[in-house]
Amino acid sequence: MLGKSEKELLACDEYDSEGGEWYTDNPIMAEEFNHQQAFDRFEKDGLDIYMWEVTYDTNEKKIIKESLWVQFTKEEAIKWKNERSKE
């Protein structure tokens, strides 16, 4: 996920003809990106990259743990991408 903070995650409405985007504090509503998409979009908008981990108990049919954390800040993402491009 991409966002300004954990409370401002990027959400997109694919049915909005004008490409509606907004920020949400609900990870379920936030847009999910694969690694490459996140880095491409991060460069465009300068947002931090977040990871949301959910542990779901299939027997109980409920979420037993949720964690949301910043995976890469803008600065860390730039450094990581620059180092990878040298390989």
User: What is the predicted pLDDT for the residue at 43?
Assistant: 77
The predicted-structure confidence for 45-79, as pLDDT tens digits, reads as follows 889 999 999 898 889 888 889 899 898 898 888 88
Give domain limits for the chain. Answer: 2-86
Q: Would you place residue 17 in the very low, low, confident or very high pLDDT band (cuts 50, 70, 90)?
A: low
Quote the tokens at residue 78: 């730039």
Q: Which residues of 37-58 are buried (b: 16+ CB within 10 A; e: fewer)?
A: ebbebbeeeebbbbebeeeeee
User: What is the predicted pLDDT for the residue at 18?
Assistant: 64
Q: Structure pTM?
A: 0.74
